[in-house]
Amino acid sequence: DGLFHTVEILDTAGSHHFPAMRELSIRSGRGFVLVFAVDSLQSFHEAVQLWHLIAKIRGKRVPIVLVGNKSDLIAKRQVSQDMAMKLAQESMHNCQYLETSAKYNVNVSELFSELLQQAYSMEQQQQTSSGGLLPGPGGSSSLL
């Protein structure tokens, strides 16, 4: 959008040991990136469980991008792209799905651009419906 925004990114991996902290992060976050490894069905199920927790706490209309990481590990894949896309569209209310390779920096910037666009769009809708003003350039957002 040509504007600069300050974004705070909080990695909550491992926070399942501290459910109160995780819940606080979910309540205060403006957008969420749910990452699983395409070579781990268990991590996929954990991402789905986290989505259910976010939906329970925040409702189903919150900016979320589901991310299948390690897309470069084609031979070790346990979660198909179709499986993840179907879940994102049907069970996660048309959540955006992207595949990334952090190792090769594939789609990493794109996932944050997508999430920021979703968060900004939702904030505009909420501000318009409530008659409030939008934050100006340089505003701050928290993304988990």
pLDDT digits (tens, 9 = 90+) for 91-125: 888 889 999 999 999 999 999 899 988 888 888 88
Residue from 70, 54, 50, 52 nearest 62 by CA:
54
pLDDT digits (tens, 9 = 90+) for 125-140: 877 776 655 454 445 5
Note the pTM of the prediction, 2 decimals. Answer: 0.82
Question: What confidence tier does 142 reach under pLDDT thresholds 50, 70, 90?
Answer: low
pLDDT digits (tens, 9 = 90+) for 47-56: 999 999 999 9
Distance of CA 14 to the CA centre of its chain: 16
Architecture of domain 31-121: 3-Layer(aba) Sandwich (3.40)
Q: Is 42 helix (H, G, I), strand (E, B) or coil?
A: helix
Contact 62, 141 (CB under 8 A): no
Domain spans in the chain, listed from the N-terminal domain onward? 31-121
Contact 96, 114 (CB under 8 A): yes
For 101, other C-beta atoms within 10 Å of its C-beta total 16
